[in-house]
Amino acid sequence: MRLLGLDPGLRVTGWGVIEVHDGRLRHIGNGVVRTRSGDPIGDRLVALFDGVRAVIEEFQPEGAAIEETFVNRNPQSALRLGLARGVVLLAPAHAGLPVAEYAANQVKKSVVGAGHAAKEQVAMMVATLLPQARAESADAADALAVAICHAHFSQSAARIAAMMPAANVAGRAR
C-alpha cells in the first residue's frame, strides 16, 4: 500500500510518500510545497492545493494522512494555518483518497516512542526506519513520520478487522 503523509503549513507544507508491504516500509519520495509570503492568501492556498495535487498525481498513493496542528499563540497565525490545513486536507480528499488525521504527539509516539520528542529525534528515527530516505527538510521528515504513523495504525486496524469475523463466529459457537 502506498501512503502519503502531509505536514501542513502556509509557508511550507511537507510531504512524504512511503510504501508498506508485509510490514516493511519503503521510502518512495519526499519534499515540500512552498508558497511566497508576499502573495495574497488566496494565491497561496491555490499553490498549496496544486502542489499537493501534483504529488498525488505523480506518486498515486492509496491513502493519505495529515498531522493535526496546534497553535496557541497568535489568533491570526492560527487562522491562516487552519486555512492551509484545510486546503492540504482537501487535496487528497478531492482526489478520492481516504484521509486520516493524527495528533502531533501521536505521530511522535508512533515513530519515536515518546509523544514529546524533539524534531531532531523524529528526523533521526525517520532516517532509521527509512534508511534510503534523504529528507529534503524538517517539514519533509515530519511528513514521512506522519506516513509511518499511518502505516502503523492502518496495519493494526487491518489486523483487528481480519480477526473480527473469526471472533464473531467463535462467539456464536458457544
Which amino acid appears at position 93 of this protein?
A
The CATH number assigned to the domain holding 166 equals 3.30.420.10
Range of the domain at 139: 2-173
pTM for the model stands at 0.86
DSSP string of 53-117, one letter each residue: HHHHHHH--SEEEEE-----S-HHHHHHHHHHHHHHHHHHHHTT--EEEE-HHHHHHHHTS-TT-
- Number of domains, the chain: 1
**Catalytic annotation present for 142:** no
Catalytic residue (choose from 50, 58, 139, 142): 139
pLDDT at 83 over 90: yes
pLDDT given for residue 144 in this prediction: 97
Across 33-45, average pLDDT: 96
> What is the DSSP-derived secondary structure letter of residue 60?
-
pLDDT at 52 over 80: yes
**Catalytic annotation present for 7:** yes
User: Over the stretch 108-140, which tens digit does the pLDDT of each residue have?
Assistant: 998 988 777 888 888 889 999 999 888 889 999
**Catalytic annotation present for 62:** no
Catalytic residue (choose from 39, 58, 62, 67): 67
> What integer best gives the mean pLDDT of the chain?
88
pLDDT bucket at 26, cuts 50 / 70 / 90: very high
